[in-house]
Amino acid sequence: MEIIESTEVHSYICKYPIDIQDKLLFLRGLILETASEIDNENKIEETLKWGQPSYTTKNGSTIRIDWNKKNPDQYAIYFHCKTKLIDIIKERYTNLFKYEGNRAIIFNTGDIIPAQELKHCISLSLTYHTIKHLPMLGL
C-alpha cells in the first residue's frame, strides 16, 4: 500500500506534551507499518480530520488517533462508529483493550500496547470495505 504522509500531522502531534507525543507517534507508526504490510494497490493518506490525525484508504474505514486534555493520562485510536469494527474487536480481544463505546480503544499512558493485536485491529479497519460482508470480518 502506498503511504502518503503529512508534515502537518507530525507538526500537530508535536504540540502535545512529550510523553503523549511519543504515544501518538507510536500509534502512527503502527498504522503506517500495518498499511505497508497490506498487499494491494491502494494508498493510505495521512491528514487532519475533525482536528485529529487521520488515516484513510479507498477500501478501508478511517482511523483517527488523539489525546484529550480532559483525560490527560489517556489517548486513543478511533474507528468509525457506524462500522462493526469495535464490536468485532471487542469479541475477539475482550479483555485485552479498554473501549469507549463503539468508536475507540483507549490507552492509559502507562499501558504496554499489545502491538501485534492492535496491528490486527488496524488491518481490519484499513481493509474494512473488502471484508465487511464476511462473518466476523473473516476472523
Q: What is the CATH number of the domain that holds 79?
A: 3.90.1150.200
Return d(Cα 116, Cα 133) in angstroms, integer.
24
Whether residue 139 lies inside any domain: the answer is no
Whether residue 137 lies inside any domain: the answer is no
84 is written with which cell numbers?
Answer: 462493526
The reply to whether the predicted model has a pTM over 0.95 is no
Q: Is the pLDDT confidence value at 55 over 90?
A: yes
Work out the average pLDDT over 65-78: 95
Q: How many structural domains are present in the chain? A: 1
Work out the average pLDDT over 18-28: 96
Return d(Cα 34, Cα 11) in angstroms, integer.
22
28 is written with which cell numbers?
Answer: 502512527
The per-residue pLDDT for 139 is 65
Whether residue 18 lies inside any domain: the answer is yes
Count CA atoms within 13 Å of residue 7 on its CB side.
Answer: 0
Domain that holds residue 40: 2-130
